[in-house]
Amino acid sequence: MADLVNEIKLKSNIVKLLTRSSDPESKQTVLKFQEMIVTDVVNLAYKDVIENNHRDLEQLDTLGISKLYELEKARLQSGSFAIAC
């Protein structure tokens, strides 16, 4: 999980740097990195809950994390690049 946390931090730093640019391509890249960050955060939350047995699956569904995880997974498999918020 530490690798995923470091990856999220790295992507966040890239987004910070790219948002300073006025280049239109940078804006598209920022959107893609933001999407990757959302995916990583959802995956991290899901892994934390499952691996550490913080909650059972019924409580997980109450929190909506499993739904977010499945939606994000389906979105990525479809090739969509819209930000899932």
Q: How much is the pLDDT for 85? A: 38
| Nearest Cα to Cα of residue 35 among 77, 72, 74 | 72
**The overall pTM is greater than 0.75:** no
Residue 65 contacts residue 42 (beta carbons within 8 Å)? yes
Q: How much is the pLDDT for 83? A: 44
Enter the tokens of residue 75.
């979105």
User: What phi and psi, each to the nearest 5 degrees, are found at residue 67?
Assistant: -65, -45
Taking only the tens of pLDDT, the chain with its 85 residues reads 678 788 888 888 888 888 888 888 888 888 888 888 888 887 787 777 667 665 555 555 555 666 666 777 777 666 554 444 3
**Count of other CB atoms within 10 angstroms of residue 43:** 17
